[in-house]
């Protein structure tokens, strides 16, 4: 397809005797004519930037659009505007199809300029470019529908038919190596054209259930500032540290702790998630790969789409696979990675399924009510206790590291852990009880 555009741009360049540049309606570069002139001024800054960066600046775009190019049906002459960075006069040939502008052909203008007959012939070539762009947009939209059908179908004959239809639409690319990407929450258009996403074979928007449940990661307010849950009282002074804290502080039976970042950090609190956020949307992107060891096409696409979706957006990437037969599994992996990136910022804003560790198991669990043992702990009144328990377990029950991470005194930590045991009925000396508590707290984030 790119070769077709290049041939048509070269045809316009030959007709008008000056290098032409083709951009889409968002001023993204598609093709440009060769510059074989001895006149260095023909390579003005706007054309150079468009070729090198594949886009124009907002000031240049505003200047050009101010001359009505989005509505024009014929050539538009645009004067220079040094303040906007436009140092040469230009001619714009709008590329339209059935009344809709799809792009622009740009030429430098100089006296006496091309004749009316040559401009008319160039507009006929621009109309052929418009047909190509329209065909490509239709193909992209159809492919989005096919991808959506695959990702929403139940396993069985309907899924098999949807995969077959997508394979037909993709052609030879269908048997290649792909990575499926999930960007969420997606607030942009329903299905942006695959042409707008680097390396994308198909793009579609889908419903997405983001993280829900009670937030357990509120910022620590320091010892003695959170009421009864924060400060040690007389019972703590008499009873000493909780059993689990005592074992952890002695270093017996504790695994190697995590690194300096603990799970429920202030950063995760800043992202926040309210109870019952309701359905949202995610963007699914099927990205072509050349090698399973190089996911840069998927990570590049994720970065650009997150910029479009806004600061709250995260992305997840499934394990790469060849062919289309396991796209439903890929979508579960990609969306699970996105959920994890949303609830655990230390793993985001771009999370790879292969790097999720225990979250690969947690995200596969059905969404249910919290385990009865931890339900009381997840109540809003005990947010600080829940966070304390999670940090304690993240640090393998080591009291010293936990107190340092929370910025509290050890005695405050021991008191809070004893309160956790009272609320849950769990024994923090028991490995199974610790596992249940840890899984329940992590699942609540998801």
CATH, residue 59: 3.30.450.40
Domain-located, residue 171: yes
Residues 6+ apart with CB under 8 A from 253: 247, 397, 431
Domain boundary among 355, 379, 400: 355
pLDDT higher than 60, residue 1: no
Cα(115)–Cα(409) distance, integer angstroms: 84
- What is the average pLDDT across 217-235? 36
- Which segment of 126-135, 172-181, 196-205, 432-441 scores lowest on mean pLDDT? 432-441
The DSSP bridge partners found for residue 92 are: 76, 106
pLDDT higher than 50, residue 104: yes
Band (30; pLDDT cuts 50, 70, 90): confident
Which domain CATH number covers 371?
1.10.10
Band (252; pLDDT cuts 50, 70, 90): very low
Question: CB atoms < 10 A from the CB of 212, how many?
Answer: 17
Q: Are 348 and 441 found together in one domain? A: no
- What is the average pLDDT across 76-82? 88
Domain-located, residue 14: yes
Domain-located, residue 246: yes
**What's the pLDDT at 247?**
37
pLDDT higher than 50, residue 226: no
- Which segment of 222-231, 300-309, 430-439 scores lowest on mean pLDDT? 222-231
Domain-located, residue 115: yes
- What is the average pLDDT across 408-416? 83
Domain-located, residue 221: no
Domain-located, residue 379: yes
- What is the average pLDDT across 133-155? 81
Q: Are 313 and 423 found together in one domain? A: no
Return the higher-pLDDT residue of 205 and 33.
Answer: 205
Q: Which of 313, 314, 331, 330 is nearest to 322 (CA)?
A: 330
pLDDT higher than 50, residue 263: no
The structure tokens 């923090």 sit at 428
Q: Are 56 and 161 found together in one domain? A: no
Cα(413)–Cα(395) distance, integer angstroms: 13
Q: Are 168 and 188 found together in one domain? A: yes
pLDDT higher than 80, residue 300: yes
**What's the pLDDT at 38?**
52
- What is the average pLDDT across 286-293? 85
Q: Which two tokens stand for residue 157?
A: 């004959």
Domain boundary among 355, 379, 394: 355
Q: Are 195 and 328 found together in one domain? A: yes
Cα(44)–Cα(289) distance, integer angstroms: 36
Domain-located, residue 266: yes
Q: Are 248 and 110 found together in one domain? A: no
Domain-located, residue 216: no
Cα(101)–Cα(96) distance, integer angstroms: 4
pLDDT higher than 60, residue 246: no
pLDDT higher than 50, residue 86: yes
Q: Is 201 helix (H, G, I), strand (E, B) or coil?
A: strand
Q: Are 200 and 294 found together in one domain? A: yes
Q: Are 33 and 116 found together in one domain? A: yes
**What's the pLDDT at 290?**
82
- The H-or-E segment that residue 173 falls in is none
pLDDT higher than 60, residue 254: no
* pTM assigned to the model: 0.50
- What is the average pLDDT across 387-408? 80
Q: Are 436 and 380 found together in one domain? A: yes
- Which segment of 17-31, 182-196, 204-218, 428-442 scores lowest on mean pLDDT? 204-218
**What's the pLDDT at 48?**
57
Residues 6+ apart with CB under 8 A from 205: 148, 186, 189, 190, 191, 281, 282, 283, 284
Q: Are 340 and 370 found together in one domain? A: no
Q: In the predicted model, what is the mean pLDDT of the chain?
A: 75
User: How many folded domains does the chain comprise?
Assistant: 3
Band (423; pLDDT cuts 50, 70, 90): confident
Report the DSSP pairing between strands 314-317 and 350-352: parallel
Its domain, for residue 172, covers 152-211+273-355
The structure tokens 């040690």 sit at 232
Q: Are 92 and 104 found together in one domain? A: yes
Q: How far is CA 427 from CA 247, 254, 432, in A?
A: 12, 15, 9
Q: Are 164 and 29 found together in one domain? A: no
């Amino acid at each position: 397809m790119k070769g077709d555009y290049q041939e048509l741009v070269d045809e316009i360049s030959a007709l008008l005797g000056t290098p032409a540049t083709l951009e889409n309606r968002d001023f993204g570069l598609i093709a440009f004519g060769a510059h074989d002139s001895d006149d260095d001024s023909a390579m003005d800054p706007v054309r150079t930037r468009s070729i090198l960066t594949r886009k124009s600046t907002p000031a240049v775009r505003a200047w050009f659009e101010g001359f009505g190019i989005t509505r024009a049906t014929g050539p538009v002459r645009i004067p220079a505007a040094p303040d906007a960075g436009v140092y040469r006069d230009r001619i714009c040939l709008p590329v339209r199809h059935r009344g809709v502008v799809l792009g622009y052909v740009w030429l430098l203008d100089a006296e006496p300029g091309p004749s009316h007959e040559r401009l008319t012939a160039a507009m006929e070539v621009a109309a052929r470019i418009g047909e190509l762009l329209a065909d490509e947009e239709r193909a992209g939209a159809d492919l989005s529908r096919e991808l959506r059908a695959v990702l929403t179908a139940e396993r069985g004959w309907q899924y098999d038919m949807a995969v077959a239809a997508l394979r037909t639409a993709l052609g030879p690319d269908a048997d290649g190596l792909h990575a499926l990407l999930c960007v969420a929450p997606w607030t942009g258009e329903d299905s942006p054209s695959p042409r707008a996403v680097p390396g994308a074979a198909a793009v579609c928007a889908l419903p997405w259930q983001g993280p829900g449940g009670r937030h357990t990661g509120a910022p620590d307010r320091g010892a003695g500032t959170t009421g009864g849950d924060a400060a040690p009282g007389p019972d703590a002074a008499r009873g000493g540290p909780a059993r689990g804290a005592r074992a952890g502080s002695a270093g017996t039976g504790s695994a190697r702790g995590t690194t300096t970042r603990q799970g429920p950090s202030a950063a995760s609190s800043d992202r926040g998630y309210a109870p019952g956020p309701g359905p949202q949307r995610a963007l699914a992107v099927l990205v072509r790969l050349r090698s399973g060891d190089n996911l840069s096409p998927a990570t590049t696409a994720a970065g650009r789409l997150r910029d479009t979706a806004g600061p709250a957006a995260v992305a997840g990437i499934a394990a790469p696979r060849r062919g289309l037969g396991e796209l439903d599994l890929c979508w579960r992996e990609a969306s699970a990675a996105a959920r994890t990136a949303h609830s655990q910022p230390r793993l985001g804003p771009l999370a790879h399924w292969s790097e999720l560790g225990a979250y690969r198991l947690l995200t596969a669990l059905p969404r249910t009510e919290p385990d009865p043992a931890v339900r009381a702990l997840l109540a809003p009144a005990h947010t600080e206790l829940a966070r304390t328990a999670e940090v304690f377990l993240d640090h393998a029950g080591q009291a010293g590291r936990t107190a340092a991470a929370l910025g509290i005194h050890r005695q405050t930590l021991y008191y809070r852990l004893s309160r956790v045991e009272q609320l849950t009925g769990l024994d923090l000396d028991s490995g199974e009880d610790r596992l249940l508590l840890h899984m329940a707290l992590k699942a609540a984030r998801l």
